[in-house]
């Protein structure tokens, strides 16, 4: 009985936590859509956040994209040639690597770099009573702290994932010449013919969802910190586990959409 009770309790807790995140997401989405959310202060934070997340990471991101992307493209092209599937390389590149792998690779990098930072930042602000300070001066915490960070997450994910795809496709020019002896014109034609508009839309929507949740969940967990320093590592680690769960759920949903 105790075993069953424990399973039941854990399930109820999990469902409650999921429902809470979804309700919080709804509240934040509503604020994002409200025009009076935006003012000079939120715009300043948004610009700063985009700089921290998308611009500062560029050298490391481009280096990682070139190294990882080139190796991957090289291996995939070599494999296709060995299997005699050369004519399908456009479909594999666009349908699998660009629309599936790019968002996934980008979200992992951004989560590792920014997810934990956002969660810690919020928790430290809570512990230091800086959140109370904002409320005391009638500054709405959702409008001022959450909305710019979440919009930044969406914009950064879409832009960086696009950049990763461009790096991959540029690497493909080199490997298609070396492995298949293909000219740039032929390579470009094959890529254009293999591009499916709906796949691109799904990839962009997926990037936006990733961006939304990898900032929303760390913020939510960061704000759950108590006024004690010891609560910071607890909320940060719980937040990161939840973020990775959300990434998996979004990935599964996107793959299911593609299958249907």
Partner 1 sequence: MKMHPRQAAPVSIDIPLISNQEVWLNIALIRQYHENMPRGEAERIAINALQRLGLENIAYKRNPDLTNEERFCAMLLRAAMVRDALIIIDRPFKIITHLKDVNYIFQAIEKIEDFYSSCHIYDYEWLKEKYGALCQ
The least distance separating partner 1 from the CB of residue 59, rounded to whole angstroms, comes to: 23
d(CA 177, CA 16): 54
Closest CA to 217 of 251, 240, 195, 200: 240
Candidate segments 61-69, 83-91, 129-137, 174-182, binder of partner 1 by CB under 8 A: 129-137
Among residues 2, 137, 185, 197, which is the contact residue for partner 1, using CB under 8 A?
A: 137
Angle at 149 between CA 56 and CA 223, to 5 degrees: 120
Cα-based torsion angle of the residue sequence 136, 141, 144, 147 in order, rounded to the nearest 10 degrees: -170
Question: What's the closest the beta carbon of residue 120 comes to partner 1, in angstroms?
Answer: 11
Q: Per CB under 8 A, does 43 bind partner 1?
A: yes
- The yes or no reply on residue 259 touching partner 1 (CB under 8 A) is no
Min. distance of Cβ 144 from partner 1 in angstroms?
Answer: 7
Residue 129 Cβ, how far from partner 1 at the closest point, in Å? 6
Q: Does 134 bind partner 1 (CB under 8 A)?
A: yes
- Using CB under 8 A as the binding rule, whether residue 129 contacts partner 1 is answered as yes
> φ, ψ for residue 227 (rounded to 5)?
-95, 20
Nearer to partner 1, 81 or 129 (CB): 129
Binding residue for partner 1, selected from 11, 78, 132, 193, defined by CB under 8 A: 132
Buried b (16+ CB within 10 A) or exposed e, 129-142: eebeeeeeeeeebb
HSE, side-chain direction, 13 A CA sphere, residue 142: 13
Distance between CA 86 and CA 90 in Å, rounded? Answer: 9
Is 204 a binding residue for partner 1 by CB under 8 A? The answer is: no
Of 144, 159, 177, 231, the one binding partner 1 (CB under 8 A) is: 144
- Cα–Cα distance list, 243 to 24, 33, 236 (Å): 15, 23, 10
Binding site for partner 1 (CB under 8 A): 39-44, 121, 124-125, 128-130, 132-134, 136-139, 144
């Amino acid at each position: 009985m105790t075993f069953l009770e424990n399973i039941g309790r854990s399930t109820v807790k999990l469902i409650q936590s999921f429902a809470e995140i979804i309700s919080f997401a709804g509240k934040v989405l509503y604020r994002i859509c409200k025009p009076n959310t935006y003012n000079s202060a939120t715009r300043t934070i948004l610009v700063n956040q985009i700089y921290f997340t998308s611009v500062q990471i560029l050298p490391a991101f481009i280096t990682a994209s070139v190294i990882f992307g080139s190796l991957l493209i090289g291996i995939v092209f070599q494999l296709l040639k060995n299997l005699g599937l050369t004519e399908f390389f456009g479909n594999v590149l666009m349908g699998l690597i660009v629309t599936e792998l790019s968002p996934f690779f980008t979200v992992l990098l951004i989560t590792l770099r920014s997810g934990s930072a956002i969660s810690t930042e919020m928790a430290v602000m809570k512990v230091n009573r800086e959140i109370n300070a904002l409320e005391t001066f009638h500054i709405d915490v959702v409008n001022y702290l959450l909305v710019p960070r979440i919009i930044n997450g969406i914009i950064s994910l879409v832009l960086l994932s696009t950049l990763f795809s461009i790096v991959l496709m540029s690497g493909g020019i080199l490997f298609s010449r070396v492995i298949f002896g293909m000219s740039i014109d032929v390579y470009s034609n094959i890529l254009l013919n293999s591009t499916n508009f709906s796949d691109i839309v799904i990839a962009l929507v997926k990037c936006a969802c990733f961006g939304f949740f990898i900032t929303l969940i760390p913020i939510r967990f960061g704000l759950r910190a108590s006024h004690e320093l010891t609560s910071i590592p607890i909320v940060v680690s719980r937040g990161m586990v939840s973020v990775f769960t959300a990434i998996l759920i979004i990935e599964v949903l996107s793959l299911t959409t593609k299958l249907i």
